[in-house]
Structure 1
Amino acid sequence: MNKTRRLAILSRLRANDPNPTTELVYTTPFELLIAVLLSAQATDVSVNKATVKLFPVANTPAAMLSLGVEGVKGYIKSIGLFNSKAENIIKTCRMLLDHHHGEVPQDRAALEALPGVGRKTANVVLNTAFGWPTIAVDTHIFRVCNRTHFAPGKNVEAVEQKLLQVVPKEFAVNCHHWLILHGRYTCIARKPRCGSCLIEDLCEYKEKVYG
């Protein structure tokens, strides 16, 4: 896909949704970090159902730590992999208190050193909580970028690097949200909704589906 077409796609997505954000419900960087940790292999809807009960009880590292692993499990047991996630949350809270004064660090290396936090999670936190121009590539974004030919790549790392190369700075902060929402609601996996797609005429997918 050429530069002109990419720019047209981004401009159209921005016009349609000027201020996109995550569908995870949070009020602080710490809440966002916990929500993203819980969202691995889970839907945002399921995470929000759990955190709406968890965060009023524990929305700081100290409060979460006081719940303990079993206490956290009680709130997140409806989410997949809740056992390991509860353990990672408690370990993460302990590290935040021991090494970062209870604050979520605005540093990639420090974030990725936290238990359960990989590059994708760090990207989401840096982008959504702190406004960094990072682009976290999940299955939705990977699919959209390859299907449309916007930023094709063999794996999520390759797609992320391609996006960082081709997305102009003015679109970089919001690009992650536009692409994930597009993949979640329009360019869906099994049967893309090409007939109602905002960028259908700009997309280079050869097997478009109508009706």
Structure 2
Amino acid sequence: MNKEKRTQIFTRLRDQNPNPTTELNYSSPFELLIAVILSAQATDVGVNKATDKLFPIANTPKAIFDLGVDGLKEYIKTIGLFNAKAENVIKTCKMLIDLHDSEVPDTRDALEALPGVGRKTANVVLNTAFKQPAMAVDTHIFRVSNRTGIAPGKNVLEVEKRLVRLIPKDFLLDAHHWLILHGRYVCKARKPQCGSCIIEDLCEFKEKTS
């Protein structure tokens, strides 16, 4: 895929949704960090149901740490892998209190040092909370990047690096949200909705459904 076609794709996605954002509910970098940790192998809807109850009670590192592992589990037990996630969140809160004055750090190395935070989670926080041009590649973005031809790659890291390199700079900050929403609602895994896709004519997928 050439640069001109990529530019057209992201121009259309921007025109359709000028101010995209995550579907996770949050009101601070810390709330976003916790929501993203909880979202691993879980839906945003499921995470929001839990955090809508948790955050009014505890939405700072100290407040969640004071709940303890067992107290936190009561709020997140409807989320998959909640036992391990509760342990990680409590450990992360302790590190934020001890090492970062209860603030979420804005560097990749510091974020990835937190329990339960991998590269993808760090990228979401850097991009969404701190407006850095990071690219968090999940299953939706990996699929869309390969299927459309925007940035094909054999693994998540390869796709991430190609997206950062190939997406025109004017679109890079919001590209993560456009691609994930496109994959979630249009370019679906089992049956992409090519007939209602605004970039169908630019997409290089050979097996279009329309």
TM-score > 0.5 by shorter chain: yes
The correspondence of residues 59-98 of structure 1 with structure 2, limited to 5 A, is: 59-98=59-98
How far apart in 1 are the matches of 2:165 and 2:108?
19
Counterpart check, 1:195 vs 2:174: no
The correspondence of residues 47-126 of structure 1 with structure 2, limited to 5 A, is: 47-126=47-126
- Give me the TM-score of the superposition, normalised by structure 1: 0.99
- Report the residue type matching 2:8 in the other structure: A
What residue is the counterpart of 1:127 in the other structure? 127
- Report the residue type matching 1:105 in the other structure: P
What residue is the counterpart of 1:29 in the other structure? 29
- Give me the TM-score of the superposition, normalised by structure 2: 0.99
How far apart in 2 are the matches of 1:144 and 1:168?
17
SS at match of 1:133: coil
SS at match of 2:205: coil
What residue is the counterpart of 1:138 in the other structure? 138
Give percent identity, aligned residues only.
Answer: 71
Counterpart check, 1:162 vs 2:162: yes
The correspondence of residues 4-43 of structure 1 with structure 2, limited to 5 A, is: 4-43=4-43
SS at match of 2:116: coil
Tell me, which stretches of 5 or more residues in structure 1 are unaligned?
none
How far apart in 2 are the matches of 1:131 and 1:45?
23
Q: Alpha-carbon deviations, 1:126-181, whole Å to 9, x = none?
A: 00001001110000000000000110000000000000110121111100000000
How far apart in 2 are the matches of 1:106 and 1:170?
22
Q: Please identify runs of 4+ aligned residues in structure 1 that moved more than 2 A.
A: none
- Report the residue type matching 1:103 in the other structure: E
What residue is the counterpart of 1:173 in the other structure? 173
How far apart in 1 are the matches of 2:164 and 2:144?
15
Q: Alpha-carbon deviations, 1:49-71, whole Å to 9, x = none?
A: 00000000100000000000000
What residue is the counterpart of 1:151 in the other structure? 151
SS at match of 2:151: coil
Q: Alpha-carbon deviations, 1:32-90, whole Å to 9, x = none?
A: 00000000000000000000000001000000000000001000000000000000000
